[in-house]
Amino acid sequence: MSLRSSITIVASPRPRVGKTLLARLLADFYLQEGRSVATFDLNAGERTLAQFLPEKTTLATVRDINGQMALFDRLIADEDTTKVVDIGHESFESFFSVAHQIGFIDEARLRSVAVAILFTATPDQTSVEAYRNLRARFARAILAPVHNEIFGPAQHRDKYPVASGNPGIVRLPVLAPGLRRYIDTPPFSFADSNMGNAVGIPIAAHVELQRWLRRIYLEFRELDLRILLADLQGSIRLRS
């Protein structure tokens, strides 16, 4: 499996948990790594993925059969591309129900495409049960909980167990509050080497933003290695 042919699904049944920010960071990280990137936006409202990455993003839907076919056909296509899917909370159950019905994870494996699900974890029962259901329905998927540190210490970590061979918890560090107004205004891009001048970020704030990005990108590099290992282990089990 090549990490240039992978699908990362960022999901949560809850709104406003940092999911789209995580999808943006992943896409920009992969772009800076020199990969071909395609993103898919299943959100409604403002500040969606498509607004920040318009040239890379396909607006998608799972509300009807045509939308479902178009999305999953494109995801499974062998394009030597790293794909990031941002699942809005309104589309959460529909997306995973269809994915389970069509055997999406197994089909991807047959095509040597790794699929990872990053689940933004919160302590509420809705999220805990949704994560448990994903583990049950997608036992062969690479599933990792994400702790957004803006919500404080991960005291709910025991509610999100990680299966043997899967990546551990991915941490999304807290960004200084004063920087949010810069990164939350489209079309801000973390992959833009000139982003400080582009949006008028003061030098001290720019340095702090770069320090924050280095922490996150270290998490992503470790995640890549863990996804590769988990996928290789899964492929070995399938052949045995």
**What percentage of the chain carries pLDDT values higher than 70?**
90
As given in the structure block, the two tokens for residue 93 are: 């159950």
The whole-number pLDDT of residue 182 equals 85
* Highest mean pLDDT out of 57-66, 158-167, 189-198: 57-66
**What percentage of the chain carries pLDDT values higher than 90?**
57
The whole-number pLDDT of residue 2 equals 47
The whole-number pLDDT of residue 237 equals 59
Q: Do the strands 170-172 and 142-148 form a parallel or antiparallel pair, or are they unpaired?
A: parallel
Give dist(CA 207, CA 112) in Å, integer.
39
Name the more confident of 130 and 222: 130
For residues 128-135, average pLDDT: 96
> Model confidence over 17-37: pLDDT tens digits?
999 999 999 999 999 999 999
> Model confidence over 39-60: pLDDT tens digits?
999 997 766 899 999 999 999 9
Residue 143, pLDDT > 50, answer yes
- Model confidence at 165, pLDDT cuts 50, 70, 90, reads confident
- Domains within the chain, CATH numbers bracketed: 6-239 (3.40.50.300)
Residue 118, pLDDT > 50, answer yes
> Model confidence over 78-89: pLDDT tens digits?
778 999 999 999
DSSP SS3 for 35: coil
| Residue 198 contacts residue 192 (beta carbons within 8 Å) | yes
Q: What is the mean pLDDT of the chain?
A: 88
Q: Do the strands 82-87 and 37-42 form a parallel or antiparallel pair, or are they unpaired?
A: parallel
The whole-number pLDDT of residue 89 equals 94
The whole-number pLDDT of residue 234 equals 62
Q: What are phi and psi of 113, to 5 degrees?
A: -115, 125
As a dihedral over the C-alpha atoms of residue 165, residue 83, residue 89, residue 67, rounded to 10 degrees, the angle is: -120
Residue 1, pLDDT > 50, answer no
Give dist(CA 231, CA 225) in Å, integer.
10
Give dist(CA 189, CA 177) in Å, integer.
18
